Structure 1
Amino acid sequence: MILLGAENEIIRHVLTSKFSVPGAVDQMFTDFDGVAYHIESSREGPLTLSMDIRCWPELVQYGARENLRQMYGGWIREAPEPDFQITLSFDYASVPPAGPDRDALIHAVSMIKRHAMAAPFERAFHQQSELEQKYEPGAAPLAGQLLALHYRADEAMYILPAHDRVTVVISTRFEEETDRIFGKVFLQEFVDARRQPSIQNAPQVLYSNRDPPLEVRGAVQASTSDNTGYVTFVLFPRHFQHPDVRSTTITHIQLFRDYLHYHIKCSKAYMHSRMRSRVTEFIKVLNRAKPELAEKERKTASGRTFRRA
């Protein structure tokens, strides 16, 4: 299977090009989950990158603004572009020279969506650490604040920290019945794959249809449609205590919904191509088996015989 990258390739390409040879650009484009970007610059600069994301108010509550300021510092413009929530401004004269520093800056900017949506995860992991210190053996389980992130029109992500784990619930909708069937097969593979000795330490994955898991049942209403499902990840401290592992965990879970639907569409396209190929082969077989029609002689009124061409 193909793993989707968290880095936006368009941002990376434009910044790499314009930081090397400054020039005019005015480009609008989108990313997964309906996130919109606008890159604009004159020949003299500055180059600005603006981002519009549906769940920005929730991200601000979870500390996204502070996290982004820590990440991008003075590159953040105080007043964002109208209709966008955050704008980065780059003066060509202030951009680091070609080398590792510039590459690191371009990489960080191309992952602005990932860094913004990491805020609720970072808060949940911090709360888990605090709850773990407060917990006394034998006492009732401790749970923190349920962090909800409505990042799509009809879909959301819920993160619940506890003293010994962090539970992430992702709601997703399948537009077609075939999508739901493919999705169920994919998710069952995640459950079965964890039985392999080499990946037994991977997060536990659970799937439920229509009825939300107990962890979020008070925050979301049960769906009346079979097209809504809930994917649950159970993260233990080993999945987020080390900084590198934490970063990878956040990135993969953020992209899981898009990863799932992307492979559903790819599987349907593959099945359709195989079906068309198989139908073509069947038609060839039928054409070869078609009996030849015998030519019948016909007679005219005068008794002459002829064959119809």
Structure 2
Amino acid sequence: MAFFNSGSRALVEILTRLQSAERPLPVDHTFFEFGSIKYHVQASAEDPENVQLSISTPSLSHEAAPSPGLPEFTLQETRNTYGGFAEVVEPARDGYALTLRLNFSGLARPKDRARAIRQVSLVQSVVLSSQLKHILGGLAPSGATKLVYNHRHPFFVSRTPGKISAIFPMRFRDDTDLAVATSFFQELQEAGSSQSRAPRCSWSPIPPPELRGESVHHLTTNGGFVSFDILERHVRRKRAAKTAWILLNFQSYVKYHIKCTRSYIQSRMRKRQESLTEVIQNARLRGSDNTKKLQVRKKSKRRLINLGKAKKLQKGFRAVIDKMKRLRLRIRVRALDRLRRHYRQCFAMPRVKGSNHYDKLE
């Protein structure tokens, strides 16, 4: 429950800004927290020391506090807590359950003022814890009382000899949320039983015996019932406010845990998907490289084969051309030899008169 701080951060910021301002600033600011808690801060420039803080919070049980204002025990608890620097204004501002007049002029050191501002931011926790302590103190020895801090998710408290049980009916819309919550309840049950100082936690899919006699509408759930056994040491002095705040925000904390778990699972799934996608891409790149290498090898082989064929053809052509040249030379040589022989024969014959050859020559 560390993430569900009982103090109001917006209230701390506004009051700190008022105290640290160099010149008085008029403030009239209204804001909401947790859906049903309403704050109103008012301060004037003429009187900057006095700041009026009003808060409106619904009652936990209409049976215990039927009037719209806060009961006397809650007002007395507020006076005891903020008596040093705050005053309860009666009647409260219209539309609000409690109005405080804050005056930090008596606190000289900045550390004391900062501590007082943080204490004022816990006013919601003080009001709700005082109501819950009063309800727990006035419980009957048998039966259960319904408390409504969140209108959608009420819970029950019952008193038995030696302990007080807080029972939470759990409802979920999504099956995934139901599975995560069931696992969380089982782990919480094991953790609560292993630690002696923590309240014992139990989870059951059926209503516990303390809720006998309640309406069927309140007992119809799909997430079962979570019960905490609150002992006397858990509600003593300052522990009472902390215990009350944890019980009031338990259902919100379960929803917060479910959202965090789902986001964590989704982030792990995305990382796993990215890693698998990277592996597949690397495999494809390696496969493409191998295919490219094979294609290059095939192309080189084809080129070598083509080059070999081309060389063989060139050698064949060259051999044919050489043969043709040799034949031409032989033909020329033979022709020249024949001419030479013919001329030798002609010029080497004797000259005889009366022969036709010489007659022609003469």
Q: Mark yes or no: TM-score above 0.5.
A: yes
Residues 143 and 158 in structure 2, CA contact (< 8 A), matched pair in contact too: yes
Of the candidates 261, 266, 282, which is equivalent to residue 276 of structure 2?
Answer: 282
Residues 176 and 227 in structure 1, CA contact (< 8 A), matched pair in contact too: no
Residues 42 and 51 in structure 2, CA contact (< 8 A), matched pair in contact too: yes
Q: CA deviation at 1:80?
A: 3.4
Are 1:68 and 2:72 matched, yes or no? no
Measured in 1, the distance between the counterparts of 2:37 and 2:4 equals: 16
CA deviation string 1:238-285 (max 9, x = no partner): 323x42433432233233222222222111111122212222222222
Give the counterpart letter for 1:218 in structure 2.
Answer: G
Q: Which runs of 5+ in 2 are unaligned?
A: 296-362
* Corresponding residue for residue 55 of structure 2: 51
Q: CA deviation at 1:31?
A: 2.8
Residues 143 and 211 in structure 2, CA contact (< 8 A), matched pair in contact too: no
* Corresponding residue for residue 29 of structure 1: 31
- Equivalence map 1:162-177=2 (5 Å): 162-177=160-175
Q: CA deviation at 1:70?
A: 4.0
Are 1:10 and 2:10 matched, yes or no? yes
Of the candidates 111, 127, 132, which is equivalent to residue 122 of structure 2?
Answer: 111
Are 1:231 and 2:223 matched, yes or no? no
Are 1:185 and 2:179 matched, yes or no? no
Are 1:271 and 2:237 matched, yes or no? no
Residues 154 and 173 in structure 1, CA contact (< 8 A), matched pair in contact too: no
Measured in 1, the distance between the counterparts of 2:17 and 2:107 equals: 14
- Equivalence map 1:109-148=2 (5 Å): 109-127=120-138, 143=141, 146-148=144-146
Are 1:245 and 2:239 matched, yes or no? yes
Structure showing the higher helix proportion among its residues: 2
Q: CA deviation at 1:160?
A: 1.9
Give the counterpart letter for 1:38 in structure 2.
Answer: H
Change (3 A) 1:66 1:100: same
Residues 39 and 48 in structure 1, CA contact (< 8 A), matched pair in contact too: yes
Measured in 2, the distance between the counterparts of 1:219 and 1:179 equals: 26
Residues 130 and 241 in structure 2, CA contact (< 8 A), matched pair in contact too: no
* Corresponding residue for residue 254 of structure 1: 248
CA deviation string 1:35-86 (max 9, x = no partner): 2323333334443333232336737457434433443456333243444332
Bigger CA drift: 76-85 or 152-161?
76-85
Measured in 2, the distance between the counterparts of 1:144 and 1:95 equals: 49
* Corresponding residue for residue 301 of structure 2: none
Residues 156 and 172 in structure 1, CA contact (< 8 A), matched pair in contact too: no
* Corresponding residue for residue 303 of structure 2: none
Change (3 A) 1:188 1:17: same
Residues 76 and 89 in structure 1, CA contact (< 8 A), matched pair in contact too: yes
Q: Which has the larger radius of gyration?
A: 2
Residues 169 and 221 in structure 2, CA contact (< 8 A), matched pair in contact too: no
**Counterpart secondary structure, 1:194:** helix
Give the counterpart letter for 1:67 in structure 2.
Answer: E
Q: What TM-score do the two structures reach when normalised by structure 1? A: 0.74
Q: CA deviation at 1:95?
A: 5.8
Change (3 A) 1:23 1:208: farther
* Corresponding residue for residue 131 of structure 1: none
Alpha-carbon RMSD: 3.3
**Counterpart secondary structure, 2:53:** strand
**Counterpart secondary structure, 1:75:** strand
Change (3 A) 1:77 1:205: same
Of the candidates 88, 91, 109, which is equivalent to residue 100 of structure 2?
Answer: 88
Q: CA deviation at 1:143?
A: 0.5
**Counterpart secondary structure, 1:173:** coil
* Corresponding residue for residue 42 of structure 1: 44
Change (3 A) 1:100 1:127: farther
Percent sequence identity over matched residues?
24
Change (3 A) 1:176 1:25: farther
Give the counterpart letter for 1:187 in structure 2.
Answer: F
Measured in 2, the distance between the counterparts of 1:56 and 1:127 equals: 14
Give the counterpart letter for 1:202 in structure 2.
Answer: A
Runs of 4 or more off by more than 4 Å in structure 1? 222-229
Q: Size of the alignment, in residue pairs?
A: 277
**Counterpart secondary structure, 2:216:** coil
Change (3 A) 1:64 1:182: farther
Measured in 1, the distance between the counterparts of 2:60 and 2:51 equals: 23
Measured in 1, the distance between the counterparts of 2:123 and 2:281 equals: 58
